[in-house]
Amino acid sequence: MSDEKTVEHKLEDGIGRVQDGAEDLFNKAKDKADDLTSCNKGCAALDAVRDCVADQPVIAASFAGLLGFILGAVIARKS
């Protein structure tokens, strides 16, 4: 009879560990999902820039070229 109680006790401990592990896993998944949601809110500016580039590609390419020229000139001057 003592062996049966020991086996039950070990089984309950094992089940408790599995439940704790599952709970930790679900909490980590929830935290990760919350992080992704906050990133999506912060990425609204990037979406706006992408939309502007899609609407006006010539202006965006001109601006990128001008910015590249200015950065190149600054880097060349410091070297």
> Position 70: which residue type?
I
Q: Convert the pLDDT of each residue in 27-79 to its tens digit.
A: 777 777 666 666 666 677 777 888 888 999 999 999 999 999 999 999 998 86
Query: Is a pLDDT exceeding 80 seen at residue 25?
Result: no
pTM of structure: 0.44
Which residue stretches of the chain are H helix? Answer: 2-42, 44-55, 57-78
> Which tokens sit at 40?
């999506």
Domain ranges of the chain: 1-42, 47-79
